[in-house]
Amino acid sequence: MQVSVRDNNVDQALRALKKKMQREGIFRELKLRGAYEKPSEKRARQKAEAIRRARKLARKRMQREG
């Protein structure tokens, strides 16, 4: 991941980097890998994420269709 610094404005570049990392899901990944996750908790989390994605997709479809 790369961010260019323009006019020696490091703060702006840092904000852009954080935004990119947030979009890519790096912070979420770091949090998950920070501590051990039991297999049952992992399955439950993945199932909840799948349900959330499916609901979001259904909402978008309904909005497009009417």
Q: Is residue 40 very low, low, confident or very high in pLDDT (cuts 50, 70, 90)?
A: very high
Using CA of residue 17, residue 21, residue 23, residue 24, what is the dihedral sign?
Answer: positive
Q: How would residue 63 be classed by pLDDT, with cut points 50, 70 and 90? A: very high
- In the three-class reduction of DSSP (H, G, I as helix; E, B as strand; rest coil), residue 9 is classed as coil
User: Residues 27, 11: contact at Cβ < 8 Å?
Assistant: no
Stretch 38-55: mean pLDDT, rounded? 97
Structure tokens at 47: 């199932």
